[in-house]
Amino acid sequence: MMNDTQNLDEKNAATAVSLATSLAQQFATRADEADREGVLPAEDVAALKESGYLGISVPREFGGYGLTLRECVAAQLALASLPGISLPGDISATSRYYAHDIATPFFLNAEDSTITVP
């Protein structure tokens, strides 16, 4: 038998996944243009902020959803499920968003265990 806390947890988790799916659908409407321009639409950032989605991992006592890591991952997977919803994830994309010293791979020198940073 579930107690009220378990019911609330399940409701919050389902709400977060539903919200993430809705946000992803909104973002998909701007994805092609954003990809062509190489930008993250301000509307997407505003929607994330205004929806409260960014609080899914924040404890309830501080105004968030208080979801577990597993529940947060489920919501993130829903958010990332539609085309065009991604963060720079490869070297070619990363180099556009981060400074050269962060984006350039470093190498471990096996001979003396030093790290070479280009």
Quickly count: other Cβ atoms within 10 Å of residue 101's Cβ: 9
On whether both 18 and 72 belong to a single domain, the answer is: yes
Residue 4 CA from chain centroid, whole number: 29
Which domain covers residue 47, as residue numbers?
Answer: 4-86
**What pLDDT is attached to residue 43?**
92
Which region, left, alpha or beta, applies to residue 58 given φ > 0 means left and ψ of -120 to 50 means alpha?
beta
3-state class (DSSP) for residue 90: coil
DSSP letter at 62 equals G
Which region, left, alpha or beta, applies to residue 2 given φ > 0 means left and ψ of -120 to 50 means alpha?
beta
Helix 42-51 with 4-37: angle, nearest 10 deg: 170
On whether both 72 and 45 belong to a single domain, the answer is: yes
Quickly count: other Cβ atoms within 10 Å of residue 8's Cβ: 14
On whether both 17 and 74 belong to a single domain, the answer is: yes
On whether both 92 and 78 belong to a single domain, the answer is: no
**What pLDDT is attached to residue 107?**
54
On whether both 67 and 115 belong to a single domain, the answer is: no
On whether both 57 and 105 belong to a single domain, the answer is: no
Query: In a structure prediction context, what are the per-residue pLDDT tens digits for the chain, which is 118 residues long?
Result: 334 444 446 677 888 889 999 998 998 888 888 888 888 889 998 998 888 888 888 888 888 888 999 899 989 988 887 655 544 444 455 555 555 555 455 555 556 656 555 5
**What pLDDT is attached to residue 117?**
54
**What pLDDT is attached to residue 6?**
47
